[in-house]
């Protein structure tokens, strides 16, 4: 099974400091799912500002974790919020991001005994 994340950038940023890597992993598995839930409710309620704010907040994490597809998709969410689009236009994109993040969080927790 392909990994849903890649820690190359995390290790580069941390200069291979395991404690620093762990704190980044910890932040990812705790904060990103919370932010994702806020994007979801923003989309559901057409609260474009909320959806944008949290999409923008998780964007660097997706990049840092090498989640390129999710990163490209979060850019689409940001564009959708700026255009104040219809929910139906963004639901599939959001579901894809959500699945990738859920899988990455599961893998990270398993891979790092969290």
User: For residue 31, what are the CA distances in angstroms to 16, 37, 66, 88, 89?
Assistant: 22, 10, 17, 26, 26
Any idea what DSSP says for residue 69? H
Tell me the per-residue pLDDT of 101-111, one tens digit each, with 9 for 90 and over.
999 999 999 99
pLDDT at position 4 over 90: no
The predicted pLDDT at position 65 comes to 97
pLDDT at position 2 over 70: no
Task: Tell me the whole-structure pTM to 2 decimals.
Answer: 0.94
User: For residue 87, what are the CA distances in angstroms to 35, 80, 110?
Assistant: 18, 9, 34
C-alpha span between 11 and 60 (Å, rounded):
15
Q: Is 89 helix (H, G, I), strand (E, B) or coil?
A: helix
Any idea what DSSP says for residue 45? T
Tell me the per-residue pLDDT of 15-25, one tens digit each, with 9 for 90 and over.
989 999 999 99
Question: For the residues 57-79, what does the mean pLDDT come to?
Answer: 97
């Amino acid at each position: 099974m392909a990994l849903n994340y890649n820690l190359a950038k995390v290790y580069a940023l941390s200069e291979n400091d395991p404690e620093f890597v762990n704190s980044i992993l910890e932040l990812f598995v705790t904060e990103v799912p919370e932010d994702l839930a806020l994007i979801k409710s923003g989309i559901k309620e057409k609260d474009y500002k909320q959806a944008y704010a949290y999409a923008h907040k998780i964007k660097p994490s997706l990049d840092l974790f090498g989640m390129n597809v999710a990163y490209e998709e979060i850019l689409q969410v940001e564009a959708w919020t700026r255009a104040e689009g219809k929910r139906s236009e963004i639901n599939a994109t959001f579901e894809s991001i959500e699945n990738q993040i859920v899988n990455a969080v599961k893998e990270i927790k398993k891979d790092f005994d969290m």
